[in-house]
Amino acid sequence: MEQAVSAGVTRLVAMGVDLERSRGAVACAHRYEEVFAAVGHHPLEEGEPDVDALRELAKDDMVVAVGEIGLDFEHIGGPERDRQLQRLQEMFSIATDMDLPVSIHNRGAEAELVAAISAHPGIRGVMHYFALGWDWAETFLDLGFYLSFAGLVTRPSRQVLREVVTLCPADRLLLETDSPYGNAQKRMGVANRPAYLVDTAELVAELRGISVPELGELEGANARALFRKLQ
């Protein structure tokens, strides 16, 4: 936390991936003023979500989103697609009931996610760890979603993603680390951490032709607009 704050990363959203770790995220948010929490059940988690307990937990003042939720059709041995789709509906119902945005994980399920979001007009949120090209970016932007970019954009092979970073409307752009995953190119092989967001921010600012502080201003404003309880 000290490293993050001294690097200029002053607001963090800790994601929940199951009930226990969602409780952990909420506890962390109560402990550190820079941290806010999201609660949810990740598509690759085994076991069924305790939807009622997650909904109750989502009432906490420090909970700013339902996440990390979504669909992952690429992970070998992950839960069946039908089960994942069922869970997604349950997580969307919590978000709707609590009037919270969602943070969505997607691997190989963009068409199904577009269908699910379109079927829930009240759902708003962010596509976390965005890794697709501009056509899909536009589709999610048209649905009102934000795009969140991580260390992936710093990999030289990701030219298509860099184009999305350049084209993304200024009022829909977010940044994340996805710690402990999602390392920037220069930190391959080490566990990612919030302070390293700066690596991504430097490249995104360069691609958009603005300074890092300017990027910080607009990204912070976007985060507060989406995660309304985040201050």
Provide the binding-site residues for Zn ion, judged by CB under 5 A: 105
For the CB of residue 83, give the shortest distance to Zn ion in the complex, in Å: 17
Q: What would the DSSP string read from start to end of 167-204?
A: HS-GGGEEE---TTS---GGGTTS---GGGHHHHHHHH
C-alpha of 147 from chain center: 8
Give the CA radius of gyration of the chain.
17
Q: Which is nearer to Zn ion, 140 or 216 (CB)?
A: 140
Q: How far is the CB of 17 from Zn ion (least distance, A)?
A: 9
* Beta carbon of residue 211, minimum distance to Zn ion (angstroms, whole number): 29
Helix 197-208 / helix 159-167 crossing angle, nearest 10 deg: 70
For 102, the 3-state DSSP assignment is strand
Continuous H helices in the chain: 2-6, 19-31, 51-57, 81-98, 110-118, 134-142, 159-167, 197-208, 212-226
Nearer to Zn ion, 87 or 105 (CB): 105
- Residues 179, 190: Cα–Cα separation, whole Å: 11
Question: Smallest distance from the beta carbon of 23 to Zn ion, in angstroms?
Answer: 19
**Preceding amide of 68 cis, omega within 30:** yes
Smallest gap from residue 210 Cβ to Zn ion (A): 27
Choose between 110 and 206: whose C-beta lies nearer to Zn ion. Answer: 110
Q: Give whichever of 182 and 216 is closer to Zn ion, judged by the CB atom.
A: 182
Query: How far, in Å, CA of 2 to CA of 10, rounded?
Result: 10
Give 36 or 130: the residue with its C-beta nearer to Zn ion: 130
In the complex, what is the shortest distance from the CB of residue 51 to Zn ion, in angstroms, rounded to a whole number? 20
Q: Are 161 and 131 in contact (CB under 8 A)?
A: yes
Of 105 and 162, the one with the shorter C-beta distance to Zn ion is 105
Please answer whether residues 172 and 126 qualify as being in contact, where contact means their C-beta atoms are separated by less than 8 angstroms: no
